[in-house]
Amino acid sequence: MKLFLSLEKSENNDELLNIVNHNLQITVTDTIEENTFVLVNGPLTHLSDMLLRDYTLADKIKKILLVGGSDSYGDVTPVAERNIYEDPESAQHVFLSGIPIVMFGLNVTRNLENRALLPLAYLFKPQIFDTEECGVFVETKAAKTRGMTVTDLYSDKQFDKHYVEMVKDFDRSELEELLKHA
């Protein structure tokens, strides 16, 4: 499987890179080719810029695996998670691109030692994740809610487009077992 990484420098991402680089089933690529998964742990600036420069990339991306956002609360403000908050305009652009996104939000990653490993586990065992399709928009204007990922998960009013698969929960014992063998 082909994987393009868009990561900021961090210890969590170093651990992720170490696992990915030693896994024979994953080919890390520095370009986005046909049927490539894109794993993002950091702001969406780089991916958004790539999509603006080359609109054909959207058709080549199989799924974006995003560590970021939340369905309910934030870590930078009461409602905004850091990876989205740092560049909400780019995040909104990616969310509206029509590319399928699997979102590993703060609501499921907050208590993990390394939240960057969840998307990697999803690549190998998506069945251990409880997900729900939803629409997501990013608040880019309001001062108090800037960077908030607004979802229609718990609303009677639904957005027109549902490109996001929101991870709501996962089987922790299955995840631990999978990561032991990674």
Q: What is the pLDDT of residues 68-117, one digit of tens each?
A: 999 999 999 999 999 999 999 999 999 999 999 999 999 999 889 899 99
Q: Which residues, including other chains, have CB under 8 Å from residue 35's CB and lie 6 or more apart? A: 2, 60, 62
Give residue 113's pLDDT.
87
Domain ranges of the chain: 2-180
Give residue 66's pLDDT.
98
What's the average model confidence in pLDDT over 4-16?
Answer: 86
What's the average model confidence in pLDDT over 17-38?
Answer: 88
- What does pLDDT average to over the chain? 93
Instruction: Inform me whether the pLDDT recorded for 25 exceeds 90.
Output: no
CA Rg value for the chain: 15
Q: Which residues, including other chains, have CB under 8 Å from residue 137's CB and lie 6 or more apart? A: 92, 95, 96, 149, 150, 159
What's the average model confidence in pLDDT over 132-152?
Answer: 96
Instruction: Inform me whether the pLDDT recorded for 182 exceeds 80.
Output: no
22 vs 91, residue with greater confidence: 91
Give residue 17's pLDDT.
87
* Torsional sign, CA 97, 99, 100, 105: negative
Instruction: Inform me whether the pLDDT recorded for 19 exceeds 80.
Output: yes
126 vs 154, residue with greater confidence: 126
| 46-73: pLDDT as tens digits | 999 999 999 999 999 999 999 999 999 9
Torsion angle of the four alpha carbons 11, 13, 17, 18, in this order, in degrees rounded to the nearest 10: 30
Q: Please, what CATH class does the domain formed by 2-180 belong to? A: alpha beta
